[in-house]
Amino acid sequence: MGKQQREDLTGQVVIVTGANSGIGKESAVALAAMGATVVMTARNAEKGEAARQEVVERSGNDQVVVGSLDLASFASIRTFAAWFLDGYDRLDVLMNNAGLMVDTQQQTADGFELMFGTNHLGHFLLTDLLRDRLIQSAPSRVIAVSSVAHRWAVGGLDHDDLQSTTRFSGARAYGRSKLANAQFVLELADQLQGTGVTVNAVHPGSIHSGFSVDGDTGALGWWMATFGPYVLRSPKSGAKTQVLLASSTRPRVVGKTGGYWSHGRRWPASRHARNREEARWLWEESSRLVAEVP
């Protein structure tokens, strides 16, 4: 992708979800090094604080804080959003980076299939709660970490079984959650046209990080832990495109919205990820599911 330009983000406020490891932590380091105030989120307070200290040391910027956030719990999401809105009067970048992959059928605290509920619905709710602050802070940016795995959802999202309750497959359910990320970007970008808020999806590449190797998956986790260091990109390399979208003042990035990016450039997503009718259906269904949880 070439040498990444160092931008000046002094005075900007950035949220990076899932920032205690992998590409999330590398994104936090890069953005903090540009002078941004970085709000890292983590489920585990101890791991979050250890990551925060590392980000401060590596970036030379002490304007780094950790907020407690579990995207598998709507209560946690609402608590985090309220805490953030009370403490910060602007939000320049929301990087929806956190995600997980499991190979067994599990549920979130609110009863949703774990990957769909965490990877999509959790970020859907978080973005909605922070939406007005993003608009008030425009020009601002939303980056959603999707994946080439969105192509695993060959037939698109199953309108009759969105929660993958029948014939569960971890890979298929994960692919559906990543397709949901891409469709979310498509619809939100349309809704925010003219507000100064851009919205883009990212495929970071195949990364060797803590993702999926700490017991979340079975055979895949073993493979990644065993062979990942030899065949996969580093988290620092994998974070480059999302950092580019979060910070760049280059004409090829500024103002661009509704795209699917990888390796520093925009690429065509799958036909389902580009289908505005399907994206609108997902948005309406997600709104309904979120509203059903007190």
Question: Would you please indicate which residues are annotated as catalytic (active-site) residues?
Answer: 174
How many other C-beta atoms can be found within 10 angstroms of the C-beta atom of residue 215? 8
Would you state the structure tokens that stand for residue 224, as one six-digit string? 């990644």
The set of long-range contacts for 152-158, using a CB threshold of 8 Å and a minimum separation of 24, is: 152/176, 152/178, 153/178, 153/179, 153/270, 153/272, 156/272, 156/275, 156/278, 157/183, 157/272, 157/278, 157/282
Q: What is the spatial distance between Cα 148 and Cα 205, in angstroms, rounded to a whole number?
A: 8
Please report, as a single letter, which amino acid is at residue 44.
Answer: N
